[in-house]
């Protein structure tokens, strides 16, 4: 007697959503934060345009599907970088300026100290700033101008203008350029570390040494004797 074969059960189609194996309280946020950190390091090293999502997934040791699940596209990943990394840094600087009140000297001390501390704790930022903000065609420039920089830059300008109106700031200085000077004295030295550390014996130059150097330049200048 011939046995009738049992029909195979139809396979259950895979549901859309998070790839399997990534469930549990806190694991979503941990995995997402890890992916963002890996992306930041690669963006700072290679540039955003030269870093495909597949490379981020490979370096993070996850599947491209998981990266797509959390961010969807590279544009959304870059938006997440701005929202979750750059804006909090800017907010921390802004809060420091608010706490310093209207005293420009105190504001400069807080701003420089806080910025150097934040940059030292986030070493990806200076090279990323050079590649993606300062350089023409950088993918963060427009986002920074529209979403991150204005409030902070205007706050610094207004503090400088107020001090100038009271005769407490050199009249030859342009308040609009003070923020530019602050960026040049803080972010640029950290971005250029591979160069000047290779030229000088500079192992003893710590973030605290840089902070003191920047504030000395800002608050006292070179203190040259005109008679000499």
- Asked whether the predicted pLDDT for residue 9 surpasses 50, the reply is no
| Rounded-to-integer distance, Cα 108 and Cα 96, Å | 10
Give the model's confidence band at 223: pLDDT under 50 very low, under 70 low, under 90 confident, else very high: confident
Distances (CA, A) of 185 to 57, 139, 178, 180, 211: 35, 23, 11, 9, 9
Q: What is the DSSP letter of 48?
A: S
Asked whether 81 and 60 are in contact (CB, 8 A), the reply is no
Q: Please report the pLDDT score of residue 102 as a whole number.
A: 82
| Rounded-to-integer distance, Cα 21 and Cα 18, Å | 9
| Rounded-to-integer distance, Cα 49 and Cα 124, Å | 16
| First-last CA distance in the chain | 117
Give the model's confidence band at 21: pLDDT under 50 very low, under 70 low, under 90 confident, else very high: very low
Asked whether 157 and 98 are in contact (CB, 8 A), the reply is no
Question: Per-residue pLDDT averaged across 36-53, rounded?
Answer: 95
- Asked whether the predicted pLDDT for residue 19 surpasses 90, the reply is no
| Rounded-to-integer distance, Cα 217 and Cα 210, Å | 11
Structure tokens at 12: 């259950």
Please tell us whether the domain made up of 26-72 is placed in CATH 3.50.30.30.
no
Question: Per-residue pLDDT averaged across 140-161, rounded?
Answer: 92
Judged on CB neighbours under 10 Å (0-12, 13-18, 19+), 25 is: exposed
Question: Per-residue pLDDT averaged across 140-164, rounded?
Answer: 92
Structure tokens at 160: 């400088």
- The tens digit of pLDDT for each residue in 116-129 reads 999 999 999 999 99
Q: Please report the pLDDT score of residue 178 as a whole number.
A: 94
- The tens digit of pLDDT for each residue in 52-97 reads 999 999 999 999 999 999 999 999 999 999 999 999 989 988 888 8
Spans of all domains in the chain: 26-72, 74-220
CATH code, 74-220: 1.10.357.10
Structure tokens at 140: 């963060």
Judged on CB neighbours under 10 Å (0-12, 13-18, 19+), 24 is: exposed
Q: Please report the pLDDT score of residue 51 as a whole number.
A: 96
| Rounded-to-integer distance, Cα 13 and Cα 39, Å | 31
For 14-23, 115-124, 177-186, which range has the lowest pLDDT when averaged over its residues?
14-23
- Asked whether the predicted pLDDT for residue 26 surpasses 80, the reply is no
């Amino acid at each position: 007697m011939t046995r009738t074969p049992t029909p195979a059960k139809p396979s259950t189609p895979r549901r859309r959503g998070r790839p399997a194996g990534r469930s549990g309280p806190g694991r979503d946020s941990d995995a997402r934060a890890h992916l963002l950190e890996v992306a930041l390091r690669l963006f700072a090293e290679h540039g955003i345009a030269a870093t495909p999502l597949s490379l981020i997934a490979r370096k993070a040791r996850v599947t491209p599907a998981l990266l797509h699940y959390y961010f969807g596209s590279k544009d959304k990943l870059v938006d997440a970088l701005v929202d979750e990394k750059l804006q909090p840094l800017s907010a921390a600087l802004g809060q420091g300026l608010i706490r310093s009140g209207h005293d420009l000297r105190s504001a400069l001390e807080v701003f420089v100290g806080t910025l150097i501390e934040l940059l030292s704790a986030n070493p990806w930022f200076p090279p990323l700033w050079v590649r993606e903000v300062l350089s023409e065609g950088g993918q963060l420039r427009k986002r920074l101008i529209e979403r991150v920089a204005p409030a902070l830059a205007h706050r610094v300008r207004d503090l400088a203008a107020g001090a100038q109106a009271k005769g407490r700031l050199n009249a030859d200085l342009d308040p609009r350029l003070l923020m530019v000077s602050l960026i040049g004295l803080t972010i640029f030295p950290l971005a250029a570390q591979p160069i000047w550390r290779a030229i000088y014996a500079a192992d003893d130059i710590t973030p605290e040494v840089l902070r003191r150097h920047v504030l000395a330049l800002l608050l006292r200048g070179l203190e040259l004797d005109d008679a000499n």
